[in-house]
Structure 1
Amino acid sequence: MASFIFSLLPPFFFIIFLIYKTCNGQKTGTKIPSGQMGFPWIGETIGFYRAQRKNQLFESFFQPRIKKHGKIFKTKLMGSPTVVVNGATANKFFMSNEFKLVVSSWPTSSVELMGKNCIMEKQGDSHRCLRGVIASILGPTGLQTMVPRMCRSVQKHLVENWENRGEISLHRSTKTLTFTIVLECLFGISVDLDTMFGVFENVLEGVLAAPVNLPGTKFSSAKKARAKIQNVLVDEVRRKKEAMEGGREEEDGMLLSSLVAALIRGEITEDEVVDNIVLLVFAAHDTTSYAITMMFKMLANHPDCYTLLLKEHEDIAVTKRPGEDLTLEDVKKIEYTWQVARETMRLCPPIFGSFRKAIAEIEFEGFTIPKGWKVLWTTYGTHYDEEYFPDPMSFNPSRFADPVQAYAFIPFGGGPRLCAGYQLAKLIILVFTHYVVTRYDWSLVDPDEPVVMDPLPFPSKGMPIKISPKHNY
């Protein structure tokens, strides 16, 4: 009897093995990337979050696994089997196959707080429609009319928040400024900054938190803040819609007008209008303010670069009459500053990467990625690789004087999901930098201030800087 039972064990374990492979999406003969799946369900999520909070995702999480398993490896994050891919070839493959092999796949908390009807969740025709509306405002004509508005917004902010101050928090200042610019200059929505800024910040704190809607949790607080924003924006959208339908207001070159016009034509819904306002405010204001802050840190640590940048802006300033705004043509001449900004975003990317979900079984470079698994591309996978950027950890803006390899520099993503606000972010960075460096002398209070993440990166002390007005201003 015992021998009979033992004879059944090999086929029994073989069946269990097949069931395990099937449940993990692996077919016989396929080659899943190597790597560790970690603990049941949570996988390696704890290690991922621990590294993220310390702003050590590359050093503590990605780099050790790349060294052990190669540029393509598997893990399990937030309950999902995930393949992490690195390199320009991988970036191009997965970004260009959006909607075909992969689709955007954000954590549940992000989707609920940004909105299920925002562009990051849209696929196919719905995505193209919304992207077309946004692109129409951020094209050459829209940008040309936006530059003077932005100039006035920046100058007003500096007068109200920098004048007669010996020290300011650069990160806090740029966050409130970009928040105002996005709502007022892009959407044409007047805001009560003291009230709305704090509410939006509360939502941001929950976008990557565990989706546990219990009192006292970050996600619960964020949901309540999101409801307040929803009420304010719905009222604004309905007021705008009623005015446009009644002929009291026409399209004014603002994104809210374009979105409401599409709403009136029946192309999009009210929820889509509101959710995309929320998304674009977050996508633009937090990442752009971080990029500006870190750029100034890099300039403080590299005075030779600052000398070149300052001369570029002074050459433009001397061509302007007192009180005359910059034009889009002026901004196009600010080339070296944009090199500095790109080199900063290469070394200090505002986002570490983005998740996708395989909607079909994918064959890539000899590996199989099962349908339903997540795919994570990372900025570090190319930004810190000497194959694309020689001496990658050094700050060298001139490397962007010539074109870089496609899909190697990806702070704004790529393919159909290329950040819709890319040109807006560029404009904010260049215009803000122009008015600061031509009107103020400045220096860092703490050059060694560490950067932390919660959930996005930020300087731990807010990057305080000492400021004094230039004598010629």
Structure 2
Amino acid sequence: MDTIIAYFLPLFLLPLSVYLISIIWRNGSDDRKKLPPGSRGWPVLGESIKFALSPDNFVKDRMSKHSPEIFQTSLVGEKMATFCGAKGNKFIFSNENKLLTSWFPESIRKVLSFPEVTESKMKVDSTAKSILHHDLLSPGSLKKHVPAMDALAREHMERNWKPNSVVKVLSLSKKYTFELACKLVLSEVDPMRVKRLLEPFTAVTKGMFSVPLDLPGTAYRRAIRGGEVMRGELIRIFRERKEELKGRNEGETSDFLSKMLMVRDEDGKFMSEMEICNQVVGMLVASYDTTSSALTSVINHLAQLPHIYNEVFKEQMAIAKSKGPGELLTWDDIEKMKYSWNVARESLRLTPPSVGSFREAATDFTYAGFTIPKGWKTFWTVYSTHKNPDCFPKPERFDPSRFEGSGPAPYTFVPFGGGPRMCPGKEYARLELLVMMHNVVTRFRLEKTIPDEKIVYHATPTPVHGLPLRLHPHRE
């Protein structure tokens, strides 16, 4: 009898405990305040899995069920207030560093960063951002990047995009964006070294948004291990570069990584290898997954919509015919790609590569009549506006003309965020997309081998089969 009780008692107590925990979890001190409507789902897990499977439908369903302005949920183990619509986006972007502060899930930081350097983060961020904006993303630097982007794109096309072959666009887009990031951020062009970086980097990007279970065999464990290998390889690159820089002064360096290694902070100290590594990893991640996803989506729409492709082809061929033999693209050429950029923006609206971003409430505040308690996390998402018929009539229709003239209403088209924390690489991404669009359409007509290929979500919109396309060369 005692054995039977010992066996069955845990089976009774476990669901009872889960039930009691959920009651306590839902009815804590926050309930004394008028919180946004919604549900937090399961304890610990919250609604993260439902969100990850279909962020578009998740947001649309809860806006309809709870409120079109704001709803509460639980994502990545945190109480979360999700702000919706153009008004919600404006509120979040306008209150950066006032009511809200930056925040990133600990599970992702564990994959990407050396945790030892978090105490010096503010000074490091300030120094790194200064170099980033001045030497990599300033208008003058970006103009110089265009020929380099085009040269690498041409090499990439020659190596990987063979006439009359079938290529998988997603994997090639990732390869190109990573090679370009390594060239511009690290001045690294050795194919073997880039490959050694890409392999662990792929494990990182595949697993950092997975369920954060650090157990053998999980994608999250592979991401952690990949992060360790990647950081180790980067440190080796840094040390080799330091040897090359011996005897030089700070003003004698020109490339981004060398300046990071040579610059001193306001206290006159060099940044440590781990501090630089954290910054470089962040830049590589930002320039890789979302940009390759955006490029894949743009090419998918070009292959799927012949009338759109034809207009892009006309614009790009006019530019190609204005160039001399072997002459690379310039900033002036990019400025002529107005219709192509409208196509890219419409693609970013329909299949945004980033779902949104988190913040943390620095103090209690109210919005739309509801209280957001201090310490709660907030979330804004592209899906509350991009496919909202109040913001974009007939939202499922691909229509580049939406971006003509003054374009969409403010705070409705937000693939790069907004406010002080708008993506600093917005213009970099624009150049990268347009350069590759030029190189693809001036060489090939595109045929989807799987016309109805499904798009799923793995942190970014992902074609199930990698978007295989048959490449038809243009007739002379």
In the superposition, the TM-score normalised over structure 1's length comes to 0.87
Give the distance between the partners of 2:127 and 2:419, measured in 1 at CA: 16
Give the distance between the partners of 1:84 and 1:239, measured in 2 at CA: 45
Superposed CA RMSD in Å reads 2.6
1:269 aligns with 2:272: yes
Give the distance between the partners of 2:235 and 2:121, measured in 1 at CA: 24
Q: SS at the partner of 1:64?
A: helix
1:69 aligns with 2:74: no
Q: How does 1:32-431 map to 2 (within 5 A)?
A: 32-48=35-51, 52-53=52-53, 56-59=54-57, 61-71=58-68, 72-115=70-113, 126-136=124-134, 137-163=136-162, 166-191=165-190, 192=192, 193-247=194-248, 253-263=254-264, 266=269, 268-403=271-406, 404-431=408-435
Offset at residue 263 of structure 1 (A): 4.9
Paired AA for residue 423 in structure 2: C
Question: More deviation in 222-231 or 90-99?
Answer: 90-99
Q: Which residue of 2 aligns with 1:3?
A: none
User: Are the equivalent residues in 1 in contact too, given 2:35–2:372 (CA < 8 A)?
Assistant: yes
Offset at residue 348 of structure 1 (A): 0.3
Paired AA for residue 142 in structure 1: S
Give the distance between the partners of 2:28 and 2:365, measured in 1 at CA: 17
Offset at residue 107 of structure 1 (A): 2.2
Give the distance between the partners of 1:121 and 1:353, measured in 2 at CA: 26
Paired AA for residue 393 in structure 1: E
CA distance 1:119–1:452, shift in 2 (3 Å): farther
Q: SS at the partner of 1:412?
A: coil
Give the distance between the partners of 2:249 and 2:272, measured in 1 at CA: 22
User: Are the equivalent residues in 2 in contact too, given 1:117–1:276 (CA < 8 A)?
Assistant: no
Offset at residue 429 of structure 1 (A): 0.5
Offset at residue 295 of structure 1 (A): 1.1
User: Are the equivalent residues in 1 in contact too, given 2:184–2:256 (CA < 8 A)?
Assistant: no
Offset at residue 212 of structure 1 (A): 2.8
Give the distance between the partners of 1:411 and 1:118, measured in 2 at CA: 32
Give the distance between the partners of 2:183 and 2:119, measured in 1 at CA: 25
Q: Which of 449, 456, 464 is residue 460 of structure 1 equivalent to? A: 464
CA distance 1:188–1:230, shift in 2 (3 Å): same
Offset at residue 91 of structure 1 (A): 1.1
Q: SS at the partner of 1:375?
A: strand
Cα deviations across residues 194-216 of structure 1 (Å, max 9, x unaligned)?
Answer: 33222110111221123332222
User: Are the equivalent residues in 2 in contact too, given 1:205–1:454 (CA < 8 A)?
Assistant: yes
CA distance 1:95–1:118, shift in 2 (3 Å): farther
Offset at residue 461 of structure 1 (A): 0.4
Offset at residue 22 of structure 1 (A): 8.6
CA distance 1:218–1:292, shift in 2 (3 Å): same
CA distance 1:170–1:263, shift in 2 (3 Å): farther
Offset at residue 402 of structure 1 (A): 2.5
Offset at residue 21 of structure 1 (A): 8.9
In the superposition, the TM-score normalised over structure 2's length comes to 0.87
Question: More deviation in 412-421 or 127-136?
Answer: 127-136
Q: SS at the partner of 1:405?
A: coil
Give the distance between the partners of 1:170 and 1:228, measured in 2 at CA: 27
Give the distance between the partners of 2:239 and 2:365, measured in 1 at CA: 44
User: Are the equivalent residues in 2 in contact too, given 1:31–1:368 (CA < 8 A)?
Assistant: yes
CA distance 1:219–1:43, shift in 2 (3 Å): closer
User: Are the equivalent residues in 1 in contact too, given 2:173–2:292 (CA < 8 A)?
Assistant: yes
Give the distance between the partners of 1:120 and 1:442, measured in 2 at CA: 47
Offset at residue 155 of structure 1 (A): 0.5
Q: Which residue of 2 aligns with 1:10?
A: none
User: Are the equivalent residues in 2 in contact too, given 1:119–1:131 (CA < 8 A)?
Assistant: no
Give the distance between the partners of 2:419 and 2:124, measured in 1 at CA: 16
Q: Which residue of 1 aligns with 2:4?
A: none
Paired AA for residue 254 in structure 1: D
Paired AA for residue 154 in structure 2: Q
Give the distance between the partners of 1:118 and 1:448, measured in 2 at CA: 47
Instruction: Give unpaired runs (5+ residues) of structure 2.
Output: 1-23
Paired AA for residue 94 in structure 1: I
Offset at residue 149 of structure 1 (A): 1.2
Q: Which of 451, 454, 462 is residue 455 of structure 2 equivalent to? A: 451
Give the distance between the partners of 1:418 and 1:444, measured in 2 at CA: 34
Give the distance between the partners of 2:347 and 2:118, measured in 1 at CA: 25
Give the distance between the partners of 1:268 and 1:85, measured in 2 at CA: 37
Q: SS at the partner of 2:334?
A: helix
Paired AA for residue 447 in structure 2: S
Give the distance between the partners of 2:46 and 2:124, measured in 1 at CA: 34
Offset at residue 127 of structure 1 (A): 3.9
Q: SS at the partner of 1:25?
A: helix
Give the distance between the partners of 2:465 and 2:41, measured in 1 at CA: 34
CA distance 1:313–1:458, shift in 2 (3 Å): same
User: Are the equivalent residues in 2 in contact too, given 1:179–1:281 (CA < 8 A)?
Assistant: yes
Cα deviations across residues 203-243 of structure 1 (Å, max 9, x unaligned)?
Answer: 11221123332222222221211111111111222332343
Cα deviations across residues 99-148 of structure 1 (Å, max 9, x unaligned)?
Answer: 22222322222111222679999986654443222111211211122111
User: Are the equivalent residues in 1 in contact too, given 2:147–2:329 (CA < 8 A)?
Assistant: yes
Give the distance between the partners of 1:406 and 1:114, measured in 2 at CA: 33
Paired AA for residue 204 in structure 1: T
Question: More deviation in 137-146 or 95-104?
Answer: 95-104
